[in-house]
Structures are given as structure tokens and as C-alpha cells.
């Protein structure tokens, strides 16, 4: 497994939805990609799956007092036995299969201010896109009509006082208004997933929004 110093993790609601199989395809993609990089969230997701499986197995009768402890003990023994697919360059395996290769295979399209994107083919309910943000560039000031997950694949970005590097994932909802800024050292490449359009403050971003589907 790839070892990284990840400081920003998935929220438990998303992990529960992933374990239960209730998320749209785009959210499943970003969760699977993050899990391939993050030991902590991967263990949490497998714990949710294990507990859920135990509850289903015993749905016809009450779980015994030791069922949860037994399930978690079995989970600890099985974590190292689950194989990980090898990444393709900078892209974790779950994402590389959607792109069809490494970053060189991405068909970037400009969306303004030097930012480029590539929308990935996923089913309805949410949209997944790769974003390439020039070093030092700021995204337009925006809020959210729904939920947005942003996973750093290469480079880094700053959002207020928080620093997001490779493997880190930012969770934003209707209460978040922000202006992420790419680190000055190199372009920042992210996987971003949304279940509703962003809410831009500026006139030009709002005009461009209808053309770039963001």
C-alpha cells in the first residue's frame, strides 16, 4: 500500500454511504481513490463494511454482546491480506482505470484563468472532474449548493489556514465559502466531485459556469 502523510480525511457519513453502497458513482470513485492512499480511512471503511455485514447476518436475531468486538478483531487480521492494485504514475489505480492511463492520458480542456479540467464519465447523481490549477493560482470565490469532495493527487493547495497535499481530501458543504489557492511550488492536480453546481460570487465565473458544467 502507498504510505502518505495524510492529515485531512473523509467524513464518517461518506464512509458509511460508501460501505452501504448508497453513494453515486462519482462519489464512490473519489472515496475508492482516497482509500487507496489512506490507511486510516481504508480501515474505517472496512470496519463499517464488517459491522454492516455482521448485522445483516444476524438480522433475524439480536446480536450477542461480543459480536462487535469479534467482528473488529477479525477485521484487524484481514486488513493486510487485502491486495492493492498498483498506481499508474501519479494516479491511484481506481482513478487510472477511468482515465485510461497516467496523467499524460488526460484530455484537458481550459475553463479560464489558466485552470484546466477533464470531466470523467460517471452515472447521474454527481459529477467527477480532474482539475489542473496553475501554481499560485486562486480558484474563484465560491460556495456550494450541495456537497463537494476534493482530493489532491499532485501538488498542494491552501484553504484558509489548512494545507492540503497529496492524498488529503477536503469536504465542503452548503456552509462553506472559500477561495482555495494552489501552492506556488507546482501545479495542483485534484479530483473533485460535486452533487450540485457550485455557487460563485463573481459575474464572470457565473457566466462561464454554464459552459464548463461546474
Average pLDDT for 42-66 = 67
The number of C-alpha atoms within 13 Å of 68 and in the hemisphere containing its C-beta is: 3
**Residue-wise pLDDT tens digits, 57-91:** 555 455 455 555 554 454 444 344 334 577 888 89
- The mean-pLDDT minimum among 4-13, 31-40, 155-164 falls in 4-13
In whole angstroms, what is the distance from residue 3 CA to residue 83 CA? 14
Beta strands of 27-147 (E only): which ranges? 109-112, 115-119, 127-133, 142-144
Three-state SS at 87: coil
Highest mean pLDDT among 53-57, 78-82, 115-119: 115-119
Higher per-residue pLDDT: 198 or 101: 101
Buried b (16+ CB within 10 A) or exposed e, 40-73: ebbebbbbbbbbeebeeeeeeeeeeeeeeeebee
Q: What is the reported pLDDT for 79?
A: 40
**Residue-wise pLDDT tens digits, 120-137:** 999 999 999 999 999 999
Which CA distances in Å does 70 have to 48, 73, 115, 135? Answer: 14, 5, 49, 49
Residue 189: is its pLDDT beyond 60?
yes
Structural domains of the chain sorted by starting position, each given as residue range(s) with its CATH number in brackets: 12-81 (1.10.10.1320), 101-212 (2.60.120.10)
Q: Which three cell numbers stand for residue 159?
A: 484553504
Is residue 200 very low, low, confident or very high in pLDDT (cuts 50, 70, 90)?
confident
- The mean-pLDDT minimum among 27-41, 107-121, 152-166, 200-214 falls in 200-214
In whole angstroms, what is the distance from residue 161 CA to residue 158 CA? 7
Highest mean pLDDT among 45-49, 76-80, 137-141, 163-167: 163-167
Amino acid at each position: 500500500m502507498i504510505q502518505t502523510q495524510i492529515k485531512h480525511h473523509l467524513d464518517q457519513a461518506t464512509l458509511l454511504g460508501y460501505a452501504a453502497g448508497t453513494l453515486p458513482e462519482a462519489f464512490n470513485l473519489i472515496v475508492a481513490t482516497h482509500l487507496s492512499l489512506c490507511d486510516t480511512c481504508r480501515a474505517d471503511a472496512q470496519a463499517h463494511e464488517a459491522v454492516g455485514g455482521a448485522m445483516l447476518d444476524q438480522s433475524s436475531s439480536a446480536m450477542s454482546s461480543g459480536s462487535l468486538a469479534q467482528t473488529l478483531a477479525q477485521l484487524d487480521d484481514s486488513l493486510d491480506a487485502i491486495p492493492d492494485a498498483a498506481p499508474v504514475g501519479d494516479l491511484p489505480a481506481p482513478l487510472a482505470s477511468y482515465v485510461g492511463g497516467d496523467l499524460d492520458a488526460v484530455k484537458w480542456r481550459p475553463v479560464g484563468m489558466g485552470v484546466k479540467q477533464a470531466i470523467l464519465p460517471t452515472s447521474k447523481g454527481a459529477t467527477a472532474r480532474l482539475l489542473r490549477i496553475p501554481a499560485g493560482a486562486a480558484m474563484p470565490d465560491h460556495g456550494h449548493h450541495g456537497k463537494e469532495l476534493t482530493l489532491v493527487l499532485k501538488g498542494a493547495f491552501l484553504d484558509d489556514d489548512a494545507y492540503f497535499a497529496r492524498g488529503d481530501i477536503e469536504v465542503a458543504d452548503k456552509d462553506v465559502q472559500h477561495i482555495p489557492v494552489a501552492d506556488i511550488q507546482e501545479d495542483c492536480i485534484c479530483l473533485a466531485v460535486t452533487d450540485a453546481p457550485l455557487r460563485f460570487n463573481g459575474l464572470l465565473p457565473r457566466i462561464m459556469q454554464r459552459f464548463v458544467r461546474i
